[in-house]
Structure 1
C-alpha cells in the first residue's frame, strides 16, 4: 500500500487511541462537566470528533459540504452531540466511524490519492487531506486533557 496512506492510518490510530485514553481517564462524575457554559463536555468532545471522522470521510468521497457556514456546522454538531449520554455510546460511535475510515483508506486507489479535494472554500491534495481526521481527533483529545486540568487532575495519564 502507499506509504502516505500507511502513515495516515498510523497517525489516525494513534489519535483515536489518545482520545480514547483521555475519555477513559475521565472520572464518571466529570463526563458531563464543562469548564464554561459554551464549552463541550468530555462526552461531547468525543462525539464531535467521531462525527467529524465520518463527515470528513464523506467529503473525501465526493459528497458536498452540507452547510453554508461553519456556524451552521457547529450548531448542528452541538445539537447532535447532546444525543450522547454515556461513555459506551460515544465510544461505540468512535469505534464504528474509525473502523469505517480505516477501511476507506485501504480502498483508496493511486488515482484517488493523487487527486485534489475541493472543499468549496479551499482545495487540498488528497494525500494531505487524509491526515485531517487524525489532527482533528488529537485536537479534541487535547481539549479533554485541558478539561481535566481545570478540575485539578494534573496526572498526564501516560501509562495504559
Structure 2
C-alpha cells in the first residue's frame, strides 16, 4: 500500500507570499510613477512648452497629474496590501516575541514619520518639502497598516500563554 510522505509545514504560506509580491508590485508602480512625474514635469517646464500646443489642449502637466494619480493609487494599494500581508503572516503562527518586534518596528515608523514631518516643515524648497512629505505619509501609512497585525500578534501570544 503506498504511503504518503509527511510534508513539512511551510514557514510562509502562499497567501502571505502572494500579498507580499503584490505589495512589492504596487510600490514598484508607485515609485515608477514618481520617476515619470519628475521626468514629465521636467520636460514640460522647458521653454519649448510655451511655443507648442494651443491653450486648453492636453499638455505635459496634465499627463503628470494623471501619472501622479495612478502612482498615489498604487501607493495606497501597496500600504493596504502590506497590512494584509502582515496579518496573513501573523495569523499563521503564534510566535512569543512577534508582538515586541512588530511594536518596535511600528514605533520606528511612527518616529520616522514625525521626523520627516518636522524636516518637511523646515524646507524652503517646494520640491524638497514635497519629498519629505511623501516620506512622512508613507511611513505613517505603513505604521497604521501594521497595527492590526500587531494587535493580532499580541492577542495570539496572550492566548497561547500557559495559565
Larger proportion of helix: 2
What's the TM-score, normalizing by structure 1? 0.32
What's the TM-score, normalizing by structure 2? 0.31
Structure number with the bigger relative contact order (C-alpha 8 A, sep ≥ 6) is 1
